[in-house]
Amino acid sequence: MQRFNLIFRKYILLWAFAAMVVGYLAGKYNPNRVNALSFLITPCAFVMIFIMVFPSSLSSLAKLKLYIYPMLVSLGLFLISPFLAYGVARIIPDPFSFLKTGIMISAAVPPDAMLSAWSGFLEADILLTLIIQLVLSFVALFLMPFGLPFLFEASSYFSLLILLKNLFFLIVIPFALGGILKFLLRGVLTGERLKKLKPTLSTLSGVIAIFIILLSVALRAEIIGQYPVIILWGVFTSALYYLLSFLVSLYISRALRFNHETAIPIIYQNGSRNLPVAMVVALTSFKHFSFLGVAACILAQFPIAALFYSLHVRSAFGNRRSGEQKE
C-alpha cells in the first residue's frame, strides 16, 4: 500500500489530466448517464473531508488562539484575490470580456473540500484548514453580495441558507462524526495506529478528489465543446491567475516564516475555490456568458494546484536526499 501511495502522489498531475480527458469524453458521448451521476459530488466531498479529519485530534481546539495570526494572513490573501484576478484578466481581448467576470467570480468564492485534500496530501494542519474554510465561507457572505456588485456595478444573488447547509454538512458533521467514532473505537484506534493510517487515508481522499474532478468536467463537457476558443482564452488566463496566486502566497508564507503545517493551507486556499458555487452565481446573477469564465477556472484550478503539489513533493524529496548525503 505504501508503494501505491507514493506512485499516486508522485504522478497526481498525470491523474488530474487523465481525469479531465476521460470526464470530457464521458460528458460528450454519454451525457445522460453523467447527469444521472451528478448527485454523487456532494456525498463524495463529504467522504473526502471525513477521511481527512478523522485522524485529527479534537484536543487541538485548545490551541485555537495560536491560529489568529495565520488566519489574518489567510483573510488578507482571500480579500486581494479578486483584485489579482482583475489585473490578470485584463489580457483577455474585449470580445471575450465576459470571461473576466467569470474569473473574478471564481476568485471571490470561498475554498472548498479540495483544500482539505491538499492539506492531507502534504500532512499539514487539518484543523487550521477547516477553520480557514469556515471563516472564509462567512467572509464570502459579505464579499459576494456586496463586493461583486461594487466591482461589476450589478446586483448578485446569493443564498445564505444554501451556504450554511453546505458548511454544516461538509465541515461540522464530518468533524463531529470523526470525534464520535474515535471515542467509540478508542481502544482499537490508538494514536500510533491513526498515524500509520494517515498516508493511506490521504491517498484515498485524493482518489475521491480525482473522481470529483472527472465528474465536474463531464458535467461541463457540452459548454467546453461549444466554445473551444473562448474556453482556451479563459483557461490560459485563469491558469496564469492561479499561478500568480500560488507564488504570492508562497512568498508571503516564507517571508513570515510559517512552518510547513501552517503554510500549506494558506498557500493552497486561493487554488482550491468552490467553483460549483461560482457557477451558480454566474448563471443566476450575471448576463451574457460569464459562466464560461468559471468553466475555464474549473479546467485550470486543479492542474495548477497539482503542478505545485508535484514540485513541492520533488523539492521535499530532493532536500531529504541531500540531508541523507550530508549525514
Per-residue pLDDT reduced to its tens digit, 286-320:
666 777 888 788 888 888 888 887 776 555 544 54
Residues 238 and 297: their CA atoms lie apart, in Å, by 6
Residues 260 and 122: their CA atoms lie apart, in Å, by 9
Whether the per-residue pLDDT at 221 is higher than 80: the answer is: yes
Per-residue pLDDT reduced to its tens digit, 140-192:
777 766 666 566 544 444 455 665 666 677 667 877 787 788 778 777 766 67
Per-residue pLDDT reduced to its tens digit, 5-40:
777 766 777 887 888 889 889 998 998 888 888 888
Q: Return the pLDDT at 317.
A: 40
SS3 18: helix
Q: Return the pLDDT at 318.
A: 42
Q: Judge if pTM exceeds 0.85.
A: no
Chain-centre distance for alpha carbon 153 = 28
**Out of 84-88, 115-119, 151-155, 267-271, least confident range:** 151-155
Whether the per-residue pLDDT at 127 is higher than 70: the answer is: yes
Residue 273, beta-bridge partner list: 111
CB 105, CB 278: distance < 8 Å:
yes
Residue whose entry in the numeric block shows the C-alpha cell 459576494: 144
Q: Return the pLDDT at 25.
A: 92
Alpha helices in 39-97 (DSSP H): 41-53, 68-88
Whether the per-residue pLDDT at 248 is higher than 50: the answer is: yes
pLDDT-derived band at 98 (thresholds 50, 70, 90) equals confident
Q: Return the pLDDT at 305.
A: 86
pLDDT-derived band at 124 (thresholds 50, 70, 90) equals confident
Whether the per-residue pLDDT at 261 is higher than 90: the answer is: no
Would you kindly state where each structural domain of the chain is located, as residue ranges? 2-326
Query: What number is the average pLDDT over the span 212-222?
Result: 82
Neighbours of 17 (CB within 10 A): 14
pLDDT-derived band at 74 (thresholds 50, 70, 90) equals very high
pLDDT higher at 241 or 58: 241
DSSP string over 194-222: HHHHHHHHHHHHHHHHHHHHHHHHHHTHH
Grid cell, residue 205, equals 481522499
Q: Return the pLDDT at 149.
A: 58
- Mean pLDDT of all residues belonging to the chain: 77
Residues 217 and 211: their CA atoms lie apart, in Å, by 10
Neighbours of 302 (CB within 10 A): 27
Q: Return the CATH number of the domain spanning residue range 2-326.
A: 1.20.1530.20
Whether the per-residue pLDDT at 52 is higher than 90: the answer is: no
